[in-house]
Amino acid sequence: MGYYHESACQGCAECIGCRRQFQNVKIRYCDKCEDEVDELFYDDNGEEVCWDCYKEQYMSKICDDMDEDRCVNCGSDAEELFNVDGEWLCEECLEEMAERVEE
């Protein structure tokens, strides 16, 4: 769930026995889109997902210059707002409240 181990061996043509074939590298991936990522977040279902998939669980709206809507948390005039429990948050505030998966 969220990662797999891969050999660090680079398959060098002239192997010098550096022992990389015995080292494992943790590769993290999104449970939904399966893309390899550096950072994962827990969504509402407890899955470990990338930032794009995390944002998809919330209804969002694109704001233009004529909109008066602002983030309820920081008051910024954002390009996109996300509805979290009835409150519209900007992407930065959404990321602050998101629960990150620790390594």
Reported as a single tens digit per residue, the pLDDT across 42-61 is 999 999 999 999 999 999 99
Asked if 77 and 70 touch (Cβ cutoff 8 Å), the reply is: yes
Cα-based angle 76, 48, 57 (whole degrees, multiple of 5): 45
Q: What is the pTM of this model?
A: 0.73
29 pLDDT above the threshold of 70: yes
Radius of gyration of the CA atoms of the chain, in A: 20
